[in-house]
Amino acid sequence: MITADLKRLVSFYEQATGITGRWATDDFAEIVSGSFTLAIGSTRTLAFFGEGIAAPATNKSMIIEFLVEDVDERYEMIKGLTREIVQKPTTMPWGNRSLLFRDPDGNLINFFTPVSEDAKRKFA
């Protein structure tokens, strides 16, 4: 993930996930858990990849999803981090209870908790 405001975005994900970011340099940090790594780089890191390869805050086609223990509990915390709640916790037809919101760069984030028996089995 590329951002023009690295400190702001890392702080947001630290608060949203409860995981402290690991800073490799002033231009690159990772949020690491046992099941994922979210790499966040400043726009200066783009020089390593090539001209025009990525642009911050332009995503309109991807949703980053996090499996959480209790989406309703997380909603109470997320309300204090962003004003951009796209969808309050809602039980979806496929059995997940989902909370959809935007991070400070406008990326769509989905926190979800399996609630139907089929969905629980899928993520067991």
Cα torsion angle, 41, 22, 124, 72, sign:
negative
pLDDT in tens, 26-51: 999 999 998 899 999 999 998 888 87
Whether residues 17 and 67 share a domain: the answer is no
Range of the domain at 77: 59-124
Shared domain for 67 and 49, answered yes or no, is no
The tens digit of pLDDT for each residue in 5-21 reads 999 999 999 999 999 99
63 in the same domain as 47: no
Query: Do 23 and 69 belong to one domain?
Result: no
Are both 37 and 73 inside the same structural domain?
Answer: no
Q: Within a 10 A sphere around the Cβ of 89, how many other Cβ atoms?
A: 20
Judge if 47 and 84 occupy the same domain: no
Q: Rounded to an integer, what distance in angstroms lies between the CA atom of residue 43 and that of residue 51? A: 11
User: Does residue 80 carry a pLDDT above 90?
Assistant: yes
Same domain, 100 and 70: yes
pTM reported for the whole predicted model: 0.89
- My answer on whether 96 and 40 are in the same domain is no
| pLDDT score, position 60 | 83
